[in-house]
Amino acid sequence: MASTASYDEIADWYETEFLNRPRAGTGDGHPLSLDVLLNDLLGEGSGTCLEIGCGTGIHADHLRALGWTPIGVDLSGRMLRYAGERLPVAQADAGQLPVRDGSLPAAVAVMVHTDMPRYPEVLREAVRVLRSGGVFVHIGVHPCFSGGFADRGDLEAVVIRPGYLDGRWTKASWTDKGVRDKVGATHWPLPELLHAFLDAGLTLDRFAESGAPTPAVLAIKGTKPR
């Protein structure tokens, strides 16, 4: 995962500026643009839903609106200072979740997989803590159209440069208003990302994209086999 210090240093900016700045289109990281994906892939339910990499806890209210009881885990203590006002939280590495085996009906990871260089380990941990038939929903930046290789300065003509095939960490970004240029991000080409879900033991159920006119977000719903 991105180091604790990295997100600790930008926590105040993230909460007060990044989340509140206007954005063109949808699916570009603004929390309000992600609600429809949570509606469609997670849906209404009951019981505890773990948000892996909860950050400042901005999705807690919407999870509650769907009937879930959200709890959160994140590596950054400074981000959790904000999150603690929104949901119960624990400071922990997503690769070692402080949760019992087979104890949860649902888990989500929203716009965080590029912060986690060991994301396949995170997926295996998600499967471990889910009960049989439990649901995991991944919502993340689109591996094909967002990354250090993608210039999204003009949404009508997104420029894809060489680099998509290189799964690596980078701080390269088309904008200085986002997160990647401040803390960096790990890129996962689409086949590697999907294989990580399969290797973790998830059954892939549904997919969705968000953003216009070129998708900026890819969402995946997986289920732990019964």
pLDDT tens track for 107-159:
999 999 999 999 999 999 999 999 999 999 999 999 999 999 999 998 889 99
Q: How far is CA 53 from CA 63, 71, 91, 157, in A?
A: 15, 11, 10, 32
Segment 44-51 mean pLDDT: 98
pLDDT for res 200: 98
pLDDT for res 29: 42
Strand 69-74 to 89-91 pairing: parallel
Q: Output the CA angle 84-89-94, nearest 5 degrees.
A: 135
pTM: 0.92
